[in-house]
């Protein structure tokens, strides 16, 4: 998993819960990196699993809720790191429609070792999008937060429903409807 995901995660934890909680969760995890991340590095995905689990134990908030909040936070970090990728989009549905064929393709060129999810588009209208998230990492709650924040970024209101297509959440169908 790319370092930007870890640096943004620890930034969110510090902004929301304080530096003390950052120190506690790093101490409670047995991290090969020791918790020292750079945005361009690559780290074992299991380190993120440990950090989310430790944050959940420390705060009492479920892992899925934390992943959702993190996705919501991460969106602006990704936009700041790659402003050129995002600036060509005029609306949120257009952006989400192009994650698979443009945005993540560009990311993969920049970072060949990036591990990205797949998005299969089932239907698209001017104000709706139906797509299937699939990734062995099962980070659908992160995707949910990213989707909601994409609409806020364009100052639009959205309703997002999702359905797990298997127990582990490695395949999840999203139904996205923009309201105004
Ligand atoms: C705004 C432009 C975007 C950029 C530059 C971007 C880039 C990235 C990068 C660098 C990663 C980390 C890959 C790794 O750790 O190896 C990632 C992962 C991910 N991205 Fe994007 N992304 C963008 C938008 C989105 C949006 C809007 C969604 C919403 C569905 C999304 C869904 C995900 C998910 C769920 C992951 C986690 C990996 C997984 O689930 O397997 N991304 N993205």
Q: Is the pLDDT of residue 64 over 90?
A: yes
Q: How confident is the model at residue 123 (pLDDT cuts 50, 70, 90)?
A: very high
Q: How far apart are CA 145 and CA 135, in angstroms?
A: 16
CATH among 3.40.190.10, 3.30.70.20, 3.90.1520.10, 3.10.300.10 for 88-178: 3.90.1520.10
85 close to ligand 1 (CB < 6 Angstrom): yes
Cα four-point dihedral sign 98, 109, 164, 9: negative
Q: Is the pLDDT of residue 180 over 90?
A: no
Distance 25 CA to ligand 1 centre (A): 24
Pick from 65, 141, 131: which is nearest to 100 by CA?
Answer: 131
- Mean pLDDT along residues 115-123: 98
Task: Report angle CA 59, 63, 64 to the nearest 5 degrees.
Answer: 130
176 close to ligand 1 (CB < 6 Angstrom): no
11 close to ligand 1 (CB < 6 Angstrom): no
Which atom of ligand 1 sits closest to the CA of residue 135? 41
Q: In sequence order, which residues have a C-beta less than 8 Å from that of residue 48 and are 6 or more positions away?
A: 1, 5, 6, 9
Give percent of the chain above pLDDT 70. 100
Q: Is the pLDDT of residue 65 over 80?
A: yes
- Mean pLDDT along residues 75-92: 94
107 close to ligand 1 (CB < 6 Angstrom): yes
Domain assignments of the chain as residue spans, ordered by start: 3-61, 88-178
Tell me the pLDDT tens digit for each residue of 1-37. Answer: 999 999 999 999 999 999 999 999 999 999 999 999 9
Q: How confident is the model at residue 153 (pLDDT cuts 50, 70, 90)?
A: very high
- Which pLDDT score, from 0 to 100, does residue 86 have? 87
Distance 116 CA to ligand 1 centre (A): 6
Pick from 26, 34, 90: which is nearest to 55 by CA?
Answer: 26
Which atom of ligand 1 sits closest to the CA of residue 79? 1
Q: Is the pLDDT of residue 61 over 80?
A: yes
- Which pLDDT score, from 0 to 100, does residue 105 have? 96
Pick from 108, 112, 118, 161: which is nearest to 139 by CA?
Answer: 118
142 close to ligand 1 (CB < 6 Angstrom): yes
- Which pLDDT score, from 0 to 100, does residue 12 have? 98
Q: How confident is the model at residue 108 (pLDDT cuts 50, 70, 90)?
A: very high
């Amino acid at each position: 998993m790319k370092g930007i995901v870890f640096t943004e995660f620890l930034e969110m934890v510090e902004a929301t819960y304080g530096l003390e909680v950052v120190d506690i969760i790093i101490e409670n995890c047995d991290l090969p990196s020791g918790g020292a991340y750079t945005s361009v590095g690559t780290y074992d995905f299991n380190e993120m699993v440990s950090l989310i689990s430790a944050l959940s134990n420390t705060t009492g908030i479920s892992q899925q809720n934390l992943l959702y909040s993190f996705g919501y936070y991460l969106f602006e970090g990704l936009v700041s790191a790659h402003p050129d990728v995002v600036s060509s989009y005029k609306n949120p549905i257009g952006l989400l429609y192009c994650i698979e064929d443009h945005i993540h393709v560009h990311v993969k060129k920049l970072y060949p070792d990036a591990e990205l999810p797949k998005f299969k588009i089932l239907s698209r209208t001017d104000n709706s999008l139906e797509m299937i998230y699939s990734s062995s990492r099962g980070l659908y709650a992160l995707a949910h937060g990213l989707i909601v924040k994409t609409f806020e970024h364009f100052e639009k209101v959205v309703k997002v429903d999702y359905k797990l297509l298997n127990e582990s959440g490695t395949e999840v169908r999203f139904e996205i409807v923009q309201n105004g």
